[in-house]
Amino acid sequence: MKDSIFPTSIEVSNGDQVLEITWSDKKKSVYPLYGLRVNCPCVMCRGGHSNMAKFEPEAFFDPDASDIHIRNIEQVGNHAIKITWADGHNSGMYRWETLRYLDPDNHK
């Protein structure tokens, strides 16, 4: 992925249970919140450093997904966002390239 691709807008809708990102190359990504929470990239959620690259994109399509809410989103530098979930968990840094990889369109 090119470094020049970055989000031009990031919108959360807890009501619709999605996070929507529009990218600088005009691509629009829509992430069900449950899938984003399950794929939190922090060390704890990924089960240790050796598993850091392993995600579960299928979680985006879980029909039994429970209601998940985002409390806050902060940009970290110019490469990532930090999401604070309603359960208080906020150690995941979602880098642009991780978010592009996790885009549910890539895993249909």
Note the residues at the interface with Zn ion (CB under 5 A): 40, 42, 45, 92
Nearest-approach distance from CB 60 to Zn ion, in angstroms: 16
Residue by residue, what is the 3-state secondary structure of 17-70?
Answer: CEEEEEECCCCEEEEEHHHHHHCCCCHHHHCCHHHCCCCCHHHHHCCCCCCCCE
Q: Terminus-to-terminus CA distance in the chain, angstroms? A: 20
Nearest-approach distance from CB 2 to Zn ion, in angstroms: 27
Of the two residues 5 and 70, which places its CB atom closer to Zn ion in the complex?
70
Of the two residues 5 and 42, which places its CB atom closer to Zn ion in the complex?
42
Nearest-approach distance from CB 32 to Zn ion, in angstroms: 17
